[in-house]
A and B are shown apart, each in its own frame.
Chain A
């Protein structure tokens, strides 16, 4: 084995291999930096060139791309608050907060360093693991996979902290939105209201952008300042980021390990890993007060995990031909185009290529992180630009990204709708991650539960793996509570009547207009969902009913909590925010009428002239760049934008 490893290593440093890997890395960085374009789009760009290429060189190129996407997409997450791809959603929470506090360089440099370390650790794990992984991966049956989705869901409790019921309600709503589409067990359609668009459910990218990015944009627009409120001390910021990683090396190692292991399990999408490790970071921290407001650990944890996860996802792809992530699915197509069949043969007859893949992954991680570190400082200075100038560019990027999901105008409408909800959530402090976790895990939870019961019956829940993961969940949920009661008892006994919601002194309960709007809206949605799913069979309906149950029950608990304790009425403003969302829908209307490219160009021009009040020649220049970007990407990705009336005449 060692000689194969070494010969693959020497293969790695041939001119052609390095050349193509660098190409892959560069394409990957560009694709990673543009929000919404992730591994899937990047692979689509490279795939046409694979046919007929030398396999080892082609694999190097693909790996270069795969390795750096979770590194490059950090830029958008940290600087703009836009989840660059599904793997960077958790990074947004603290990364963007750090940027707003003027510490973008620190967030970026620690993100890149931990990405690189995570990727390297992932590659090390992978190189030993790949030859013995088969039995372990095969030991994960549907029941263990189901338990893993529950483990992911238990992060909701960790992340919502003292606002447990609000978090659970948000998660319930996420579950409900996540099961839109076909019931896996029976083929019945749920909650699609006869709309073709909803038959497949809402796309993750649209939901991620809507819930995180749009509310941030609106907030920044209202403030009219730059993204970072305090000036960024660049020189210190990025050295400090590197120091942060050194101080948190234990966290990096643990998160990389979690990342590579979860990545190896087929079926669990990479988008869960960042939340799991984020939850882990929150839970293992002694001082949790800064999470969500800009804690560097909230950046380090998901970033070390997502690169490791990209490595881990190669295990099921290579060993079983069953991709562990969306990007891996396309990589699989690439393998087939190269005439390579994944499976046991990758170890027995193509071990050298397998190691080329792993080594390329490691090397590309280093290269990608180095390039990003070089870019970090100049790019971080973006946060000092007045936001009104950036806003149209970012908005067009987000719409472009959302439109990538299914290439239908409905993507934009869904983006606006989820965005409106995100704004409400943000204003009233309801947990947006909890919603997203519910949304991401709903299909897996339902599917694996159904499969576990069908395949194994009641035996599904007495398997050792299931019990181990179950114990882990219990530990995550109850350990902090037990620890607290124990500590409380050790000092002076102080009655804790709010069992799970933490011993928050009563009186800080606050309620506002937006809370009431959210609660009423959620109850209405639950009602609509119940009516829609009423006629379903038991197997098709159990999951929506469960989601409705969680939603309604936690709302009732939340209301009871508010009734039992003194509540301070807080003023929550929302009118202006919703006005902006209204404007967004107007924009969609204009896109339908005029066409995507023209609307985006005109909108940027007018916005820059009238709202941002920049010089006409700058406004025109930027608008031209936006048109150029859209038309160019349209060509590269063979995209057909919503055409409207005028676009076909102007842009062909």
Chain B
């Protein structure tokens, strides 16, 4: 059998990279590269990912890295630097201290980087105001339940309003936070069992029958829960929806047939919309954790021209058919958001009023026995 050309090439590049790296050992002690005019695209971009290799954000970054590299002038190498620890706080802290302001250092953040910053976690030493977004990718998610709670979504909702349900979650301030808030607004009494190491473990607890309801973000839902739904082992209840340009929560394009959380709320409450601190908190955390789930950012004082170049390149490849085709599997049916639009959403969602934060702290304590 023959080796397809692109594989042969990759093999070549692997060998060569290793060889170069090995032999670079001897020479590199004396060589000190990169010293160019500030607005030129740097030859190497170091992209800090504050998570371990192979995690969601890492895979996301490795998906984007070649797209950026191929579409930027002079095709810079995009090197991914994984700095795990502290649930992404460590890496983000280090980036905020060490990153160069020449525009050759990027950071990729996720909901678990955003949430601690919003909640005022004492370990957070970074500030989103110091960074400028290049691109953001949204995601959505679906809440689903065991068929033992009822045959249809309506029946399940009715029984959920009567007796408490168990949900397997990672931590009180993890990506499930908006889901917990949404269910609380609906009047469901949720017993959250914390300590899952991933959403995948949470789903396993659901599949084992230990959890009554579960929640997965879009790509995991499509690959792992859809088969359960088809086999009659899970009943989808509602999606979180997505934020449109006007800031309204509308149906998720990935789940056009599923009502959003707001629709379910309205149908239970005489077409009223939720109000109050709970809903404010929900919106903020939903926006920063889902509408902007993952962000590519550079330090704010990087040269503006360079930032524009990056955004332009992103705009270009995001619009291409090739990207759309490949992105379907990795990102779901959501289009990445670029530049100023992200900035606007970001400013809005990260800005949490003290009163909301206090309410949230209190709510986590009383409802879930969690102290933050």
Interface residues of A (CB under 8 A from B): 14-16, 19-20, 23, 40, 43-44, 46-49, 51-54, 57, 138-142, 182, 184-188, 196, 199-200, 266-267, 320-322, 329-334, 336-337, 339, 341-345, 406-408, 447, 450-451, 454-456, 537, 539, 627-629, 631-632, 635-636, 638, 640, 650-652
Contacts and interface: CB of A to CB of B under 8 A. Distances in A.
B371 A188 contact: yes
Contacts of B31: 652
Contact of B90 (A406, A631, A650): A406
Contact of A454 (B86, B193, B224, B370): B193
Contacts of B25: 628-629, 631-632, 635
Contacts of A450: 193, 195
Contact of B63 (A15, A182, A200, A337): A337
Nearest to B32: A652
B85 interface: yes
B24 A632 contact: yes
Given A48-B80, A142-B205, A187-B172, A344 B227 contact: yes
A182 B195 CA distance: 10
Given A43-B54, A141-B210, A187-B371, A321 B223 contact: yes
B177 to A, nearest CB: 12
Interface stretch (B4-12, B182-190, B312-320, B335-343): B4-12
A333 B53 contact: yes
Interface of B: 1, 3-4, 6-7, 10-11, 13-14, 18, 21-22, 24-26, 28-29, 31-33, 46, 52-55, 58-59, 62-63, 66, 79-87, 89-90, 93, 98, 123, 166, 168, 171-173, 191, 193-195, 197-198, 200-201, 203-205, 207-211, 220, 223-224, 227, 329-330, 369-372
A322 B54 contact: no
Contacts of A336: 59, 330
Given A19-B11, A142-B205, A636-B18, A627 B29 contact: yes
B208 A138 contact: yes
Nearest to B227: A344
Contacts of A650: 29
A629 B22 CA distance: 8
A23 B11 contact: yes
Interface centre among A47, A51, A139, A187 (most CB of B within 10 A): A187
Closest 3 CB pairs of A and B: A333-B54, A184-B195, A330-B54
A40 B220 CA distance: 23
B123 A199 contact: yes
Contact of A333 (B11, B22, B59): B59
Given A141-B210, A200-B86, A455-B166, A47 B201 contact: no
A321 B173 CA distance: 23
A345 B10 CA distance: 28
For chain A, what secondary structure do more than half of its interface residues adopt (helix, strand, loop), or is it mixed? Answer: helix
B63 A51 contact: yes
A400 B205 CA distance: 38
8 contacts: A15-B1, A43-B54, A199-B86, A320-B204, A330-B52, A406-B85, A406-B90, A638-B79
Contact of B24 (A182, A266, A635): A635
Contact of B53 (A44, A343, A627): A44
Given A199-B123, A333-B58, A455 B193 contact: yes
B50 to A, nearest CB: 11
A16 B22 CA distance: 24
A187 B63 CA distance: 33
Given A141-B208, A199-B123, A330-B53, A186 B370 contact: yes
A454 B59 contact: no
Contacts of B62: 47-48, 51, 337
Contacts of A266: 201, 204
Contacts of B24: 631-632, 635
A638 B79 CA distance: 8
B176 to A, nearest CB: 13
A191 to B, nearest CB: 16
Contacts of A334: 54
Nearest to B66: A51
B166 A16 contact: no
A51 B208 CA distance: 34
A16 B6 CA distance: 12
B200 A321 contact: yes
Interface centre among B204, B209, B227 (most CB of A within 10 A): B204
A267 to B, nearest CB: 7
Nearest to B4: A54
Contacts of A138: 204, 207-208
A52 B85 CA distance: 29
Contacts of A20: 7, 11
Given A138-B208, A186-B370, A188-B371, 13 more contacts: A20-B7, A23-B11, A48-B80, A51-B62, A182-B171, A200-B85, A322-B201, A336-B330, A406-B85, A636-B18, A636-B21, A638-B46, A651-B29
B372 to A, nearest CB: 6
Contacts of A408: 85, 90
A53 B13 CA distance: 12
Contact of B227 (A51, A267, A343, A627): A343
A276 to B, nearest CB: 21
Nearest to B14: A49
Contacts of B208: 138-141
Given A47-B62, A186-B371, A322-B198, A455 B205 contact: yes
Given A142-B205, A635-B21, A638-B79, A57 B52 contact: no
Contact of B201 (A196, A267, A537, A539): A267
Contact of A185 (B166, B194, B197): B194
Contact of A447 (B11, B22, B195): B195
A69 B46 CA distance: 29
A372 B211 CA distance: 46
Interface centre among A20, A455, A650 (most CB of B within 10 A): A455
Contact of A15 (B3, B82, B194, B197): B3
Contacts of B6: 52
Contact of A322 (B10, B32, B200): B200
Contacts of A44: 53, 82
B204 A628 contact: no
Nearest to B211: A455
Contacts of B84: 406
